A and B are shown apart, each in its own frame.
Chain A
């Protein structure tokens, strides 16, 4: 059918970011832990294609390593959300209407009722600021999202006759959930995961912007942005580059999510009926 511009643009954007982040694991142009005060605030060019920051670190390397922390935080947070939310959602759907279902859904509502940023701050106050706590704070709020999506999709599958057939074959709820329900909502979960991933990147940026995310010397986009803000006149690129990195990554992931939804949506795939 049509070339899917969303999918392609999103794939290229997020692919590039992912690739750069992966590359930073083995190679960066300059060590970001080594400060060089004499080299501070160098304009782009020469050994520093994007210049250096106020502590003389190479901006390109900082952005690459920053991508890594953003992605790691968001990815693990999504992992937590899926790891806990999907089984909960499956369980709730399998036991639909029972107290278990009710309990899971009420817990979801309760988590949703807490303002996320406030919880992040509280967690940080209890455990101290770190990337781990950012992950925890973002991850907790991913759980109800996945639980809800999973339950909703699973509920509609449970009304289908192939589930009846599996019950006839004597399969239990757990087995049916794993064998018949989960594989058929995987598409939906992938789409949701990309969306949550992009939200996670934004959330991580916000948290590290207020100093609650990854801690120095680990670079993170949000903190780079926060630290450079006041230099917007003297060295605008310091604040603009990390901002741009966030925007492009989130944009890429959102486009990818949209593209995947279009590509995987069973409603669009289903033939004549």
Chain B
């Protein structure tokens, strides 16, 4: 198990290096000068040059890459061009929104999808199953930004149960924070739950067809017992894969939802940083996201091993 983890860790770091090169290269070729952007329509060229120097935008490619990477490794991501505060602080601030939001949405979608998938699988082919499958098809087809908009209309504008968006900050209290994240989490979670429920159902049905379920039934387990005790855990492997993918999606792919609910999350930070050419923020945050995805994949791999003993020895 340890060896397995170590070798996975090595390939993880290789991926990170490759990713950092790709990101750095992409950032390099983005047209548009942060200094020019900041100074606007009436700026004189020498003013822009002065600002460029101040921002540390001069220097060769390699030295800047190495500076960046060594900075990242020590947790120093530099100073944001536009905000003029450490990027690390910005990221920490935003993570305080994005991470709980992703976790909240993931928890919601899991809490909805697993029982629903289980139920549908248990009732395979009957009306309940068909109904659920139809609903999940619809859930997958509805764009989440559209769904989010409808949620806002109903719950914020019409019913005024919650704010239309924004985030008061955790210091306003856990309850307030969670309340502010509820609609966004629902908007993110429902389409994900639809996918997850389908995966859960088909994984369960697949395992239910396995020989060992027949063995279990021959032991005297009822259909439901066999489902719970034998099929569930085996079906968890594809479900875990999807969960891992979803987490990374939720962390970074929530940009549109963050816009709809004007949440100060990581996604919006990137979006904004790109338009403002705050490239130092862009490269560090993208790198961080890639790191998060790779880390989650790694954790999912470890989770596989926890679920499936056959993978432990490799």
Does A touch B (CB under 8 Å) in the complex? yes
> A residues bordering B, Cβ < 8 Å?
106, 109-110, 112-118, 121-122, 125-126, 198, 202, 205-206, 209-210, 222, 225, 229, 232, 239, 243, 246-248, 250-251, 254-255, 258
CB contacts (< 8 Å) of B117 on chain A: these are none
- Judging by beta carbons under 8 Å apart, are B140 and A110 in contact? no
Complex partner residue of A255 from B15, B137, B255, B259, CB under 8 angstroms? B137
- Judging by beta carbons under 8 Å apart, are A114 and B11 in contact? no
Question: Which chain A residue has the least Cβ–Cβ distance from B289?
Answer: A115
Question: Which chain A residue has the least Cβ–Cβ distance from B279?
Answer: A125
CB contacts (< 8 Å) of B30 on chain A: these are 122, 125-126
B239 interfacial contact with A, CB 8 Å:
no
- Judging by beta carbons under 8 Å apart, are B253 and A116 in contact? yes
Task: Offer 18 A-B interface pairs, CB within 8 angstroms, sorted by A.
Answer: A110-B15, A110-B22, A113-B19, A113-B294, A114-B289, A117-B256, A118-B267, A121-B271, A121-B274, A122-B282, A210-B255, A222-B143, A225-B146, A232-B149, A246-B141, A247-B142, A247-B146, A251-B141
CB contacts (< 8 Å) of B286 on chain A: these are 114-115, 118, 122
Complex partner residue of A106 from B11, B245, B256, CB under 8 angstroms? B11
Query: Given known contacts A110-B15, A254-B140, A255-B137, is B289 in contact with A118 (CB within 8 Å)?
Result: yes
- Judging by beta carbons under 8 Å apart, are A210 and B259 in contact? yes
- Judging by beta carbons under 8 Å apart, are A254 and B141 in contact? yes
CB contacts (< 8 Å) of B32 on chain A: these are 125
Mostly, the B contact residues are helix
CB contacts (< 8 Å) of B26 on chain A: these are 122, 126
- Judging by beta carbons under 8 Å apart, are B256 and A113 in contact? no
Complex alpha-carbon distance, A229 and B145, angstroms: 11
Query: Given known contacts A122-B26, A251-B141, A255-B137, is B256 in contact with A209 (CB within 8 Å)?
Result: yes
Complex alpha-carbon distance, A112 and B298, angstroms: 13
B138 interfacial contact with A, CB 8 Å:
yes
Complex partner residue of B252 from A117, A206, A210, A254, CB under 8 angstroms? A117
CB contacts (< 8 Å) of A115 on chain B: these are 248-249, 251-253, 286, 289-290, 293
CB contacts (< 8 Å) of A118 on chain B: these are 252, 255, 267, 270, 286, 289
- Judging by beta carbons under 8 Å apart, are A106 and B146 in contact? no
B49 interfacial contact with A, CB 8 Å:
no
Q: Mark B50-78, 1 if CB is under 8 A from A, else 0.
A: 00000000000000000000000000000
Given contacts A113-B19, A116-B253, A209-B145, 15 further A-B contacts (CB under 8 A): A114-B286, A114-B290, A115-B248, A115-B252, A115-B286, A117-B252, A117-B256, A125-B31, A125-B32, A126-B31, A206-B143, A232-B149, A246-B146, A247-B143, A251-B141
CB contacts (< 8 Å) of B137 on chain A: these are 251, 254-255, 258
Complex alpha-carbon distance, A82 and B167, angstroms: 42
CB contacts (< 8 Å) of A251 on chain B: these are 137-138, 141
B85 interfacial contact with A, CB 8 Å:
no
The 6 closest A-B pairs by CB, nearest first: A115-B252, A250-B141, A251-B141, A113-B293, A243-B146, A247-B141
B153 interfacial contact with A, CB 8 Å:
yes
- Judging by beta carbons under 8 Å apart, are A247 and B289 in contact? no
B contact residues, total (Cβ < 8 Å): 42
CB contacts (< 8 Å) of B252 on chain A: these are 115, 117-118
Complex alpha-carbon distance, A239 and B18, angstroms: 42
Q: How many A-B residue pairs have CB under 8 A?
A: 107
B41 interfacial contact with A, CB 8 Å:
no
What is the CB-to-nearest-CB distance from A232 to chain B, in angstroms, rounded to a whole number?
Answer: 7
Of A118, A198, A202, A210, most buried by chain B (CB within 10 Å of CB) is: A118
B159 interfacial contact with A, CB 8 Å:
no
Complex partner residue of B145 from A113, A206, A232, CB under 8 angstroms? A206
- Judging by beta carbons under 8 Å apart, are B138 and A121 in contact? no
CB contacts (< 8 Å) of A239 on chain B: these are 149
Complex partner residue of B274 from A125, A229, A247, CB under 8 angstroms? A125
CB contacts (< 8 Å) of B11 on chain A: these are 106
CB contacts (< 8 Å) of B249 on chain A: these are 115-116
Question: Which chain A residue has the least Cβ–Cβ distance from B293?
Answer: A113
- Judging by beta carbons under 8 Å apart, are A117 and B255 in contact? yes
Complex alpha-carbon distance, A209 and B149, angstroms: 12
CB contacts (< 8 Å) of A225 on chain B: these are 146
CB contacts (< 8 Å) of A254 on chain B: these are 137, 140-141
Question: Which chain B residue has the least Cβ–Cβ distance from A205?
Answer: B143
B297 interfacial contact with A, CB 8 Å:
yes
Question: Which chain B residue has the least Cβ–Cβ distance from A246?
Answer: B143
Complex partner residue of B297 from A109, A246, A258, CB under 8 angstroms? A109
Complex alpha-carbon distance, A122 and B31, angstroms: 11
What is the CB-to-nearest-CB distance from B8 to chain A, in angstroms, rounded to a whole number?
Answer: 11
Q: Mark B235-247, 1 if CB is under 8 A from A, else 0.
A: 0000000000100
Complex alpha-carbon distance, A164 and B26, angstroms: 45
Q: Mark B261-304, 1 if CB is under 8 A from A, else 0.
A: 00000010011001100000010001001100110010000000
B29 interfacial contact with A, CB 8 Å:
yes
Complex alpha-carbon distance, A116 and B286, angstroms: 11
Question: Which chain B residue has the least Cβ–Cβ distance from A210?
Answer: B256
Of B142, B143, B248, B255, most buried by chain A (CB within 10 Å of CB) is: B143
Complex alpha-carbon distance, A197 and B4, angstroms: 37
Complex alpha-carbon distance, A202 and B194, angstroms: 15
